[in-house]
């Protein structure tokens, strides 16, 4: 294991070849309009890169500028405690949720339950086969919720792929009873328009509301007709989850015509995704707020009435943001971090050719009060370590590290690894720790790396697309106070009030 403690040694001059620039141009112009961000239902095909890019990667490894293939490097304040490889579920690893001593790890083939009572030695207690991308996962009480965003023959866990043009095809939300963590039981399914790419919970005592994000309608898809431009709201009675049903479909981007009222994308805004729905929503229930990352738009919503959320502000960045992917509030609810998933999660965008402002985080202050609050841009943050052109790398899922008086976040960057960074000064964010592996290959652009990296009860947990489940420990005076914060449950897209 190599420790690279001086970040200056990692500011590499990779990605400056003409071939790399051509790849970047293709990502900026084609990917947002035609590709579904985040790896798809089928395994991602490897993509050959130019001979010069291959030579650059090998030279960078030889010079010690990037870690070797599969080699692990990290800052001094990060310790790698454990890795649990994939087992019965060979698909793409996706999101994470937590409850008590358990972690729930999504996978395109189903989900896996870990006992993390000993973070240095997690144990698998269940693996549930239930195919359907993305299998975004969250939990509340005795219920687990799973997103299906691929066209299936039916709603069962025995379903097979089926064309989206088939009216009988199914996509949506699945509900499991997890009162016995060793034996989850499938109890309900709710079909939603355009499926469920991600979902966010608004849990109440008797009911759990689910905000379902989906997008990319098409006139040829019977269950995903344009304009879409909204979210499905599902109500799940805790005592009768089999009665779960869609109770509303609020249109967040009203507008006349077949395209609705969101960002029009290209050619009006070249390189920017057309808004046809939301990718992800984060709710801050203690403040009755939600932030939506909606393809070409970022939005702030009031959720005082959870069945009928309403947009109170909307922003665009048609210069540096290609695809608004996810959102994170700070504890005081006066900032939001939005991520830009340039290249759909399968592109090599952490290089000098792309630069520091694309495929990055955008930090926004929330100013004003009540329904007059506004999102005001302050700065961008991107990891300072350039990656090889064979490594998919872009801003992805992360969470707060709960420290009073500071805004610190841990975040996944696919093959860029995991970054711990401070945005207390929203105009001047800075990285304070990192963990990453070397490239999966040095001759092809292959999808891998950390999908989600979240802080939970003293440790960082990561679900690596290819390598499995990782546990990290951060020891730093700036983050150590967070170890005193203990939560009974964590769904990162339902941000808790850590200090209530």
What integer is the mean pLDDT of 364-377?
A: 97
Q: What is the DSSP string of 259-279?
A: TTTS---TTTSTTSPPPSS-S
Q: What is the mean pLDDT of residues 82-96?
A: 97
Write out pLDDT tens, residues 295-314: 999 999 999 999 999 999 99
* pLDDT range class, residue 18, cuts 50, 70, 90: very low
Q: 453 vs 280, 399, 409, CA distance in Å?
A: 16, 7, 10
Q: Check pLDDT > 60 for residue 170.
A: yes
pLDDT of residue 411: 98
Given its phi and psi angles, is residue 465 left (phi above 0), alpha (psi -120 to 50 degrees) or beta?
alpha
Model confidence pLDDT, tens digit, residues 114-158: 999 999 999 999 999 999 999 999 999 999 999 999 999 999 999
Position 31 pLDDT exceeds 60: no
For residues 217-226, one letter each, b for 16 or more C-beta atoms within 10 angstroms of the residue's C-beta and e for the rest, the string is beeebebbeb
Which residues on adjacent β-strands are paired with residue 217? none
Q: In what order do the strands lie in the sheet with 198-203?
A: 198-203, 207-213, 232-237, 245-248
Average pLDDT, rounded, for the chain: 91
The pLDDT of residue 37 is 54
Measured between its terminal Cα atoms, the distance across the chain in Å is 40
Exposed (0-12), middle (13-18) or buried (19+): which is 304, by Cβ within 10 Å?
exposed
Tell me how many degrees the CA angle 274-152-168 measures, rounded to the nearest 5. Answer: 95
Would the pLDDT of 8 be above 70? Answer: no
β-strand 232-237 against 207-213: which pairing, if any?
antiparallel
38: confidence class by pLDDT, cuts 50, 70, 90: low
Say which residue, 401 or 36, is predicted with more confidence. Answer: 401
Q: Which residues, other chains included, contact 419 with Cβ-Cβ below 8 Å and sequence gap of 6+? A: 383, 410, 411, 413, 431, 433, 434
Query: For the chain, what percent of residues have pLDDT higher than 70?
Result: 91
pLDDT digits (tens, 9 = 90+) for 186-210: 999 999 999 999 999 999 999 999 9
Nearest to 247 by CA among 173, 311, 176: 173
CA atoms within 13 A on the CB side of 346: 21
R_g of the chain computed on alpha carbons: 21
Question: What's the confidence (pLDDT) of residue 109?
Answer: 97
What does the pLDDT look like over 248-279, one tens digit per residue?
999 999 987 677 799 999 999 999 999 999 99
Check pLDDT > 60 for residue 30.
no
Q: Give the model's pLDDT for residue 257.
A: 67
Is residue 25 predicted with pLDDT exceeding 90? no
d(CA 450, CA 467): 9
């Amino acid at each position: 294991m190599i420790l690279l403690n001086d970040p200056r040694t990692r500011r590499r001059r990779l990605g400056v070849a003409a071939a790399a620039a051509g790849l970047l141009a293709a990502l900026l112009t084609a990917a947002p309009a035609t590709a579904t961000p985040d790896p798809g239902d089928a395994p991602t095909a490897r993509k050959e890169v130019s001979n010069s890019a291959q030579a650059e990667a090998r030279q960078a490894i030889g010079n010690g500028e990037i870690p070797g293939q599969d080699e692990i490097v990290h800052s001094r304040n990060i310790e790698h405690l454990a890795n649990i490889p994939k087992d019965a579920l060979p698909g793409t690893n996706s999101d994470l949720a937590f409850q008590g001593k358990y972690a729930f790890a999504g996978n395109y083939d189903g989900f896996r339950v870990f006992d993390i009572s000993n973070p240095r030695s997690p144990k698998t207690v269940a693996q549930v086969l239930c195919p359907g991308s993305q299998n975004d996962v969250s939990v509340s009480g005795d219920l687990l919720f799973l997103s299906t965003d691929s066209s299936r023959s039916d709603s069962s866990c025995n379903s097979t792929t089926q064309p989206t043009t088939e009216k009988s095809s199914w996509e949506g939300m699945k509900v499991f009873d997890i009162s016995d963590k060793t034996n989850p039981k499938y109890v309900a399914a709710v079909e939603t328009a355009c499926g469920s790419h991600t979902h966010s919970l608004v849990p109440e005592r008797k009911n759990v509301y689910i905000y379902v994000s989906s997008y990319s309608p098409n006139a040829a898809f019977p269950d995903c007709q344009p304009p879409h431009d909204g979210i499905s709201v599902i109500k799940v009675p805790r005592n009768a989850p089999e009665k779960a049903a869609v109770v509303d479909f609020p249109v967040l981007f009203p507008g006349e015509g077949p395209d609705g009222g969101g960002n029009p994308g290209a050619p009006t805004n070249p390189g920017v995704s057309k808004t046809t729905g939301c990718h992800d929503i984060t709710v801050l229930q203690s403040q009755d707020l939600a932030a939506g990352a909606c393809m070409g738009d970022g939005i702030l919503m009031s959720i005082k009435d959870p069945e009928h959320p309403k947009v109170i502000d909307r922003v665009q960045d048609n210069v540096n943001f290609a695809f608004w992917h996810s959102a994170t509030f700070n504890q005081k609810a006066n900032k939001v971090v939005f991520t830009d998933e340039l290249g759909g999660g399968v592109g090599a965008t952490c290089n000098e050719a792309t630069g520091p402002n694309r495929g990055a985080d955008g930090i926004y202050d929330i100013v004003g009060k009540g329904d007059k609050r506004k999102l005001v841009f302050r700065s961008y943050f991107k990891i300072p370590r350039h990656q090889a052109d064979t490594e998919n790398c872009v801003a992805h899922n992360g969470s707060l590290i709960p420290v009073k008086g500071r805004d610190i976040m841990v975040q996944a960057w696919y093959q860029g690894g995991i970054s711990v960074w401070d945005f207390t000064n929203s105009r001047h964010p800075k990285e304070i720790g990192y963990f990453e592996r070397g490239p999966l290959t040095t001759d092809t652009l292959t999808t891998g790396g950390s999908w989600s990296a979240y802080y939970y009860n003293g440790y960082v947990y990561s679900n690596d697309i290819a390598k499995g489940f990782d546990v990290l420990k951060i020891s730093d005076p700036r983050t150590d106070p967070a170890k005193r914060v203990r939560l009974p449950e964590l769904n990162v897209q339902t941000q808790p009030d850590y200090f209530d």
